[in-house]
Each structure stands twice: as C-alpha cells, then as structure tokens.
Amino acid sequence: MNKDNLVVIVGGTGAIGNAIANELEKLGFKEVLKIGTKTNPSIDFNDENTIIKTTEFIKNKNKPISILFDATGILHHDDSMPEKTLKSIDINFSKKNFLINSIGPALLIKHFVPLLDSENKSVFATLSAKVGSISDNGFGGWYSYRASKAALNQLIKTASIEMKVKNKQAIFLALHPGTVKSNLSQPFQKTNLKIQEPEESAKHLVKIINSVDQSQTGKFFNWDGSELPW
C-alpha cells in the first residue's frame, strides 16, 4: 500500500476507530482522516448527503485512498438491548440496527469505492461481528444485531466480487474485533470473555489488513487472523 495516499476511518472518533487511526499513523501513513458524526466533514448514516459531501472533500485532496476502515456499529441504543427472544423484537430498534450496521456501510461502499487506489493494494475493511456468522450461530438470540451483521457480511462479499472486475487492487474485508472495552460492548463484558483494550484489538486488525492479498478479498476474519465462516 502506498503510505502517501489517504487513510479514512469512518467512526474514527470511537474507541476502536481512534485506535486504528493511531496504529496506522505509527506505521507511517502520512494522512489519516478520522470521520465521525460531529467532525468536519462529518458522516451521519441518516443522511446520505453527508457521505457525498465527505467524498467531495476527499476528492479535492487529489489522492486516492489506501485504506477505508468502517468502524461504525450499534449493538444497543437508549433503553433497547439485543433481543433474547422473538417477542422482544421491536420495529424501531430493528430499523436502527440495519441502518447503522448494514445500510450505512453499503452507502460507504457505494460512494468511497471509486476513490480507492487502483494502482496499488487498497483495502475496504468493516467491523463485523462473529455473531453475524450464520454457520456459527449456536445460541440464538440477538435477532436484529445478528441479522444486520450477516447482511453486512453479504455486502462485503458481493462488493468484492464486483470489484474483481472494476478494481483488481481493492480488497474487501469483514473483521471481528473481539470483545473490546468500548461503549458498544460495555454491558456484555463478562469475566469469561477475553476483553481487549482498543489498542490491542487495533494492532491485530491492522496486522490482518497489512498481510492479506487480493486472493483473500471478500473474506471474514477473526481478530486473531483466523478465517470465520459465513
């Protein structure tokens, strides 16, 4: 990857996004842009125009993107928590899950993919979740979150197929960061889980981004580098 190119972290003001940005800066990427809902420019998945305005801002820099890292996501919201049973499914909470975990990243793919470097290796990586794996679902529950992350995985896989023709240098990855100390996972940090600091998870995820090649586009990886089943 060309380290003179841009790195864009969407959700870059959150715990994992900020740690990813810091890790990539340490590796020598010269311009790392952290985009959030309150930055300038900003991105709000409720408004596609914010994504369009941000891509216009980036186009004016006259550099391609080496890494687009999507660090957005929602697991719980206000008083709504992941559903343990079918009777807990709520239409508004489900819509919120799909907007943030699926539709928003789809719009990022739509608008940012044309800006990816087409001459050198470039990566579009998104934070998925192991519970989004259909094959690995042995416990049930968490309906909206599981389904929205499964949808995200399908988006990454599908985009990777199209881009094998349009940009052979671009690699698309779905990444499970593990359980990380953050607002998203705070209610679920059980003592029997390995809980990582954002900086630790970021090191693992950046290692994956650095190590993959074009033959691995459209894959779903755990934080430890192992491939996860769809």
- Domain for residue 230, yes or no? no
Structure tokens of 61? Answer: 């820099």
Please, are residues 169 and 119 in contact by the beta-carbon 8 Å criterion? yes
Any domain includes 1: no
Phi, psi at residue 168, to the nearest 5°?
-70, -15
Domain contains 211: yes
- Give domain status of residue 227, yes or no: no
Q: Is residue 171 in a domain? A: yes
42 domain residue, yes or no: yes
End-to-end Cα spacing for the chain = 27
CA distance 6 to 62: 10
Task: Report the number of distinct structural domains present in the chain.
Answer: 1
Strands (DSSP E) found in the chain: 6-10, 31-35, 65-70, 122-127, 170-176, 179-180, 195-196, 219-222
Q: Is residue 228 part of a domain?
A: no
Q: Domain of 109?
A: 6-222
Among residues 170, 172, 79, the alpha carbon closest in space to that of 116 is found at 170
Cα 211 to Cα 107, 134, 171, 173, 217, distances in angstroms: 26, 26, 11, 12, 12
Tell me whether residue 166 is in a domain. yes
pLDDT of the chain along its 230 residues, tens only? 999 999 999 999 999 999 999 999 999 999 999 999 999 999 999 999 999 999 999 999 999 999 999 999 999 877 789 999 999 999 999 999 999 999 999 999 999 999 999 999 999 999 999 999 999 999 999 999 999 999 999 999 999 999 999 999 999 999 999 999 865 545 554 555 678 999 999 999 999 999 999 999 999 999 999 999 99
CATH number of residue 139's parent domain = 3.40.50.720
Q: Are 121 and 213 in contact, with CB atoms under 8 Å apart? A: yes
